[in-house]
Structure 1
Amino acid sequence: MGEFTMPSLGADMDEGVLLEWLAGPGELVHKGDPVAVVETAKSTIEVECFETGTMTEVLVEPGTTVPVGTPLALIEPPAEKPREPEKPRTAKERRPAPHAKKKGKPPEHKPPSSPPEPAPVPVPAIPVAVPSAAQQRGHIEAGPLARHLAEQSGVDLATLHGSGPGGRVTRTDVEEAAAAQATPPPRVRATPLARRLAAELGVDLTTVTGTGKESAVRAADVRRAAPGPAAPAPPAHVGVAPERSARPSEARTAAMRQAIAALMTRANRDIPHYYLSTTVDMFPAMDWLHDHNRRSTVGERLLPAALLLKAAARAAREVPELNGFWTDDHFTAGEGVHLGVAVSLRGGGLVAPALRHADTLALPELMTALTELVTRARTGRLRGSEVSDATITVTNLGDQGVETVFGVIYPPQVALVGFGRVVDRACAVDGLLGVRPVVTATLSADHRATDGAVGARYLTAVARLLQNPEQL
């Protein structure tokens, strides 16, 4: 029997509030499926299941605050099918072929005689309905009641085969045809909790836009669609947290600021930072970007941020000493480059969800993934794996007008990359003075894991990649 526990969704998380169950006892869940919604000090996150199996029991009711590692539910793994015992071979099957023992010419094989032709199978006679003389002339034999029912239910009498005398269409024929052509109401994909809430609040699920997996309707969608003032919080057994789940924005912002302050205080206290910066010539990158966007549709166009993020991810692959974690007094390299992207939230504060395997994504794919990640971060629909898997973080404040940013490392990571605004600067290129677009790239790194030489190698790789954008 496996346990589904409260996960750690960041270095600053010690506890979380279970807001909602997305699966219930008796349901089959797969590894990676979101099964619960958890509220942390920073955001509301959908938590994925760690294994495949059947949820047998819920141990924590919605609305409960529990520490990280607390069992939330029991999951029974799928039973393995017993292997069928091998059927023993008979003595005849174990006996070798007669010619296997003898050497020399194998026995001649006579071609098999053609099998006798099978006896013809008698075909049963199929009765054929012969239309009546009235039907052959185009007239439908039906009484006034049958015609009235057909008109009301939209049944075409010409398509019916009457069961009455002489092929006459009866009332029963019309009613059966009407029942057969009636289309059942569409089945709306929704969680069990959402269906119960919809019944209690009088919400028609067909009118609700789902935000869950495969557009499934969740409990939060039903509450938003509920008419009139907010309904009182349902009891705990319904599967949703009580009223405290909807914190006032001021209290939630204050809690987030406290969590960020505690984490940054710890980072500044425990991590010996060193800082490096370089100015990157962006003329090749911007020239390539303008040419790409001119030849692309609106949906395929890129922003400079896509090039910066891809260069940061590729450089992390080339310099793996900066891509990983400092835990238990030693460095552990990350399994893949999962690029954390600092996202400012509309209500204040920030989160840094991860673009998984960002170094392997093509630029259009990375641009799409970035857009979706920012949207989910600002609407509270992040997944647990997206907020806990980042191996190196990038903060890009260029859209805010900042030219240089030195960030604080997000523990247990060992590096943070900063990009400012792309600006035109006078500079000398090949002995000639001109105006070129440039960007300032910075690195904040953990001196316990690396030193300045490694950091300089990383920033050099970023500059080289941005000056050769066709390699990204």
Structure 2
Amino acid sequence: MGTFVMPSLGADMAAGTLVEWLKQPGDAVEQGDIIAVVETDKGAIEVEVFEKGHIGELLVEAGNVVPVGTPLARIDGSEMAGEQSSIRPAQPEIKTAAPRVAPARQLVFPRGTGQGPRASPAARKHAAELGIDLATVKGSGPDGAIQLVDVERAERMRPEAVSDPGPDLSAMRRAIAAAMSRSKREIPHYYLTHRFDLSATLGWLDHYNAERPPPGRLLLGALQLKAVAVALKEFSEFNGFYSKEGFAASPDVHLGTAVAIRGGGLAAPCIRHADTLTLSELMESLRGLVTRTRRGQFRSSEIADATATVSSLGDRGVESLLPVIYPPQVSIVGFGSVMQQPWAVEEGPVVCPVITASLAGDHRANDGHRGALLLRRIEQLLSEPDKL
């Protein structure tokens, strides 16, 4: 027998709202099955189970705010899945209350009085606070149910919000502010930047894409992610988590990818085992991740498991960036735009496509000497894309 508990889906998460059960007592579950939907400051997150068995009992009713670590369901005949990473992010120290034992409701996105649209309790409460009519909100949840992220999107699209955007005080912005404030307060950052010629990489990429239809083509971002993932596997002091016990390197590379969400906000869900994926598999994972993230849809393993992060502002036209580490991670790699710049070669000065890679490291876990070697290794891997 095993227990399914409310997971930690971020360094600053203390509790989440259980908005929907996707499995019922008696249902069989396999590793990776989506068992529930939890709503946090990041939006609606699909929570996976890492045990094989069947649902014995649901211990918490949908609609409740539940502290991290609280048992949510009993899984009978459970077998722990071997694929699950042996390293997990440091969990916040939280005193959990005893779980509420209540029967599961069949309708977890209840209708309001007068048979109004289905909405999660958090979405209904936030809409009431803002004076938003739920009938005007398009839902992105199961069967069109309205979630908190849908109400926040409707708030940003109201005429008064468009004409006078003002400061973004959404829940996601507040969560980002809390995490980044903690990062700059607790983590002794150091920064390195490195410029290098990208001619060989782009030449190979053009040739690769010319032979394939659009769905099978690669973006430069996929090559960047693969190069970083392979380099992190070799430089383990940049891949893992720092807690009060010190640094713990991760045996796996689950690479977070910073994604800007339309209308405001930022998320960095991860691609698991990024170093083991082929370029085409990585590109497919990246497309799906970006699409779902911009809809405010996440999976728990994508939020909680990132061992390091990559941030790219190349499509925004900036030459370089100095990113902030997301705790409890200990590094983040940034890429700027590809710039046509003068470059010295043996034959003399030429104009080449040049990119600037940057690294923010946590001095408690790694140092600038190794960080410089990491950036040079990323350059080497990108210059030989046929070997990625």
- Residue 293 of structure 2 corresponds to 377
Structure 2 CA distance for aligned equivalents of residues 459 and 266 of structure 1 = 26
Give the equivalent residue in structure 2 for 1:434.
350
Q: Distance in 1 between matches of 2:183 and 2:362?
A: 10
1:363 partner amino acid: L
* CA deviation after TM superposition for structure 1 residue 248, in Å: 3.6
Query: Helix, strand or coil: the match of 1:377?
Result: helix
In 2, Cα distance between the equivalents of 1:330 and 1:52? Answer: 32
CA-to-aligned-CA distance 1:148-172 (integer Å, 9 cap, x gap)? xxxxxxxxxxxxxxxxxxxxxxxxx
- Match in the other structure for 2:251: 335
Secondary structure (helix, strand or coil) at the match of 1:437 reads strand
Hey, what does 1:319 align to over in structure 2? 235
Deviation at 1:23, TM superposition (A): 1.0
Q: Give the direction of change, closer, same or farther, for the CA distance of 1:243–1:318 in structure 2 (3 Å limit).
A: closer
Q: 1:369 Cα deviation (Å)?
A: 0.9
Q: Does 1:9 align with 2:9?
A: yes
For residues 275 and 51 of structure 2, the distance between their equivalents in structure 1, rounded to whole angstroms, comes to 27
Partners of 2:78 and 2:335 in 1: how far apart?
48
Distance 1:17 1:78, change over 3 A: closer
Q: Secondary structure at the match of 1:444?
A: strand
Aligned twin of 2:86: none
Matches within 5 A, 1:379-398: 379-398=295-314
User: What TM-score does the superposition give when structure 1 sets the normalisation length?
Assistant: 0.65
Mapped partners of 1:247, 1:342: distance in 2: 23
Look up the equivalent residue of 2:16 and give its one-letter code.
G
Q: Distance in 2 between matches of 1:219 and 1:76?
A: 31
Matches within 5 A, 1:73-472: 73-77=73-77, 230=135, 247-249=151-153, 250=155, 254-472=170-388
Moved more, 362-371 or 320-329: 320-329
Q: Percent identity?
A: 52
Contact 2:256–2:306 (Cα < 8 Å) also in 1: yes
Q: Which residue of 1 aligns with 2:130?
A: none
The 3-state SS of whatever aligns with 1:77 is strand
Q: Distance in 2 between matches of 1:50 and 1:336?
A: 16
The answer (yes or no) to whether the contact 2:25–2:58 under 8 Å persists in 1 is: yes
- CA distance in 1 between counterparts of 2:173 and 2:217 reads 35
Larger strand fraction of residues: 2
Query: How many angstroms does 1:241 deviate by?
Result: 9.7
Q: Is residue 68 of structure 2 the alignment partner of residue 68 of structure 1?
A: yes
Post-superposition Cα deviations, 1:14-70, rounded to whole Å, max 9, x if no partner, equal 111111110112222223211110011012100012322232322222221111111
Q: Specify the structure having the higher radius of gyration (Cα).
A: 1
Question: 2:66 is matched by which residue type in structure 1?
Answer: V
**Pair 468,246 (structure 1): closer, same or farther in 2 beyond 3 Å:** closer
- How many pairs were matched up? 330
SS in 2 for 1:405: coil
Contact 1:63 1:244 in 2 (8 A): no
Q: CA–CA distance in 2 between the matches of 1:12 and 1:412?
A: 10
Q: Could you say if the C-alpha distance between residues 193 and 295 of structure 1 is closer, same or farther in structure 2, counting changes exceeding 3 Å?
A: same
SS in 2 for 1:52: strand
1:77 positional shift: 2.0
CA distance in 2, matches of 1:389, 1:418: 19
AA aligned opposite 2:32: G
Gaps of 5+ in 2: 80-105, 121-133, 137-143, 157-167
Deviation at 1:469, TM superposition (A): 1.6
Report the CA distance shift for 1:243/1:349 in structure 2 as closer, same or farther (over 3 A). closer
Confirm or deny: 8 A CA contact 2:256 2:268 kept in the other structure. yes
